[in-house]
Structure 1
Amino acid sequence: MLLLQGCSDDSSRVYGTVERDRLTLSAPVGELISTIYVVEGQRVAAGAVLLELDSTSAKVRLAMRQAEYKQAQAKLAEAVTGSRAEDIDKARAALNGANASVKEAQNNFERTRQLFVTKVLSQADLDAARAARDTSLAKQAEAEQSLRLLQNGTRSEQVEQAKAAVDIALAAVALEQKAIQDLTLVAAREAVVDTLPWREGDRVAAGTQLLGLLATDNPYVRVYLPATWLSSVKVGSHVNILVDGRAKAIAGTIRNIHSQPAYTPFYALNERDRSRLMYLTDITLSEEGQDLPTGMALEVQLP
């Protein structure tokens, strides 16, 4: 009887459940839900379109960014091409007019100075003639600089600034295009729609969970490992998984043991061990266990 009792001891077993990765899809912005393509429980393939948010505002912002990009391109082309021939001819004509004004003002000043020496004109007349000559000389210098500026063309620093503005505008266009793509939610992996709390026409806030998916591939077992087994079990250790209704145990491999201990639920330990610290552990299932349903309870036999 003692031997039979020892054989039935379950201290080398822990209880666990079959788990699969859960994928959460949230709203990138606050918008209306325009179309929902799936229902809860539906199996979807990777890349399948699940839900779409209203893209009216996003398309308007994209059109604005595209217009800004075209404007930046036009300014760059203007900077690279330089001044038009008509503008240069206009500046040259202005310089010729300034030269004529200088000549006239200089001659007027010389006549006024001679008349001032002979006491015909006063000091005020001489000062006025000198001021008119100086003004015409200043306008001449301004016209020369304007013509030289047009002939030399745009500075290299200004061209670089125009190129940078084009790059910024192009990046803004790409950002708005990505924002429009994000309004269409797609499945990243083959999965089953687990939760779908919203309906078409609902307005959601940014960051709101729109869909919950449950991946169909790569199931694993999650158990709470007693602290007493940490010395004999480690990542990579092989264990046997016992499933009700199956005569043969399923092989499993420990893939992760959390470093921080946690108290396990009351059902995971017998009465004697409930007060002990436990470590959350994930176990990879072999090929024979890939069809186990999510949430199924089972036992893991520790080595």
Structure 2
Amino acid sequence: MKALFKWQIGLIALMAIACQNKTIDGPQGKVKRDALMVVSKYPGRILTIYAQEGQRVNKGDTLMLLDMPEVEAKLNQAEGAVSAAKAQYEMALRGATNEQLEQVMAKLDAVSEQYRFAEKSYNRIHNMFKDSMVSVQQYDEVYMKYQAAKAQYNGVKAKYEEVKKGVRNEKVQMALGDYERAKGARQEALVAFAERYIVAPQAMTIETIALHEGELVLPGYGIATGYQLDKAFFRFTIAEGQIHNYKVGKTIDILSPFDGKNYRATIVAIKQLTRYADVTSAFPEYQLGESIYELKAVPEKGADVSELLTNISVIIK
């Protein structure tokens, strides 16, 4: 008996609340927002999650921190390459040091003496060969040594002239190119390293977080999803018999019946819905066989829509 009595009291209370509800007149629609997905550009393992489902975040707020050891290793390699390329470029600009110049001069003196001695020996053997005092074999051996000494002398002398004049401009440009390329690789590694912080792309609500701390994130994988806060639009389903009342560009008044707030919006699009998409309510207000249209309206500029809940019902006044 007590259970039956409690059930009757609950039914009476529900009937009383239902009687107090006002009838909502006008086409009904929903508040919609653009969905956002937060992804990672590089693979990594989640170290810390700072956001929670249902939380509102601002653009640029840190949502997660990833561990990227491979990216850190590439950054260290890039730093080393920049240091080496910079040293090569600076050496090319300054040219040879005094010690290098002295080494080349000493080598030039040595090969000069060898060349002069080989030249004297060749002149003597040449005169003796003309008088048939030496064999052809002896003459060829001395001549070969003379040519070798001459070639060595010319090579060291050319090296000396190059060192004395400084590094050629082409080599300086090559060193500069290597330096710039190394700096570009370092910048690329720095950009990748900064991506270990996963930030909110827009002011948004966090609806779902797909991964947990310690799990691996792959490039392009959706880590979290949500809705954009600072932009919203209204979507209405209008039957064929009523669509003639609405035109693109027309301004309409929209009421949020649950908080009593009014909004002015402009119709920006009207399109026919396909059959599989035209049932948007449990109580459709149209006849079977009627074509159904989707009406999209955007709030006027400056309207505060951040407090409107996504998918909440609204009506056209």
- When normalised by structure 1's length, the TM-score is 0.83
Residues 58 and 204, structure 2, Cα contact 8 Å, conserved in 1: yes
Q: Does residue 23 in structure 1 map to residue 1 in structure 2?
A: no
Three-state SS of the structure 1 residue aligned to 2:207 is strand
Report the Cα distance in structure 2 between the residues aligned to 1:265 and 1:26, rounded to whole angstroms.
Answer: 32
Q: Judging changes above 3 Å, is the alpha-carbon distance between structure 1 residues 107 and 239 closer, same or farther for their aligned structure 2 residues?
A: same
Bigger mean CA deviation after superposition, 13-22 or 161-170: 13-22
User: Structure 2 matches for 1:258-273, cutoff 5 A?
Assistant: 261-263=272-274, 264-267=277-280, 270-272=285-287
Distance 2:294 2:115 in 1: 96
Is 1:192 aligned to 2:208, yes or no? Answer: no
Deviation for aligned residue 1:183: 1.6
Shift in CA distance, 287/165, structure 1 to aligned 2, threshold 3 Å? same
Distance in 2 separating the partners of 1:30 and 1:274:
52
Once residues 286 and 212 of structure 2 are traced to their aligned partners in structure 1, the CA distance between those partners, rounded to angstroms, is 47
Q: Which residue of the other structure, out of 134, 143, 147, is the alignment partner of 1:130?
A: 143
Residue 65 of structure 2 is matched in structure 1 by 52
Pick aligned residue for 1:82 from 89, 95, 100: 95
1:233 aligned residue (247, 265, 271): 247
Percent pairwise identity: 20
Q: Is the 8 A contact 2:108 2:153 kept in 1?
A: yes
Matched residue pairs, number?
288
Q: Would the aligned equivalents of 2:205 and 2:227 in 1 still touch at CA under 8 Å?
A: yes
Q: Secondary structure of 1:266's partner?
A: coil
- For 2:105 and 2:28, locate their aligned partners in 1 and report how far apart those are by CA, in whole Å: 94
Q: Per-residue displacement from partner, 1:14-54 (whole Å, max 9, x unpaired)?
A: 44210223221112222211111122112223332111111
Contact 2:38-2:225 within 8 A present in 1 as well: yes
Residues 243 and 293 in structure 2, CA contact (< 8 A), matched pair in contact too: no
Structure 2: where are the runs of 5+ without partners?
Answer: 1-24
Report the equivalent of 2:308.
292
Whole-angstrom distance in 1 between the partners of 2:229 and 2:84:
49
Query: Aligned in 2, Cα 1:86/1:225: closer, same or farther, shift over 3 Å?
Result: farther
Deviates more, 1:267-276 or 1:32-41: 267-276
Give the C-alpha shift of residue 186 in structure 1: 1.7
Alignment deviations for residues 213-256 of structure 1 (CA, whole Å, 9 cap, x no partner): 22333332123567885896123x211224335667532223x3
- Alignment partners' CA distance in 2, 1:41 and 1:141: 81
Q: Which residue of 2 aligns with 1:257?
A: 269
In the alignment, the residues of structure 2 paired with residue 55 and residue 105 of structure 1 have an alpha-carbon distance, to the nearest angstrom, of: 66
Q: Paired residue for 2:298?
A: 283
Q: Do the aligned partners of 2:231 and 2:305 also contact (CA within 8 Å) in 1?
A: no
1:114–1:267: structure 2 CA closer, same or farther, 3 Å change rule?
closer
**Cα-to-partner distance string for 1:143-197 (whole Å, 9 max, x where unaligned):** 1111111112212122122222222211221221111221211223333211112
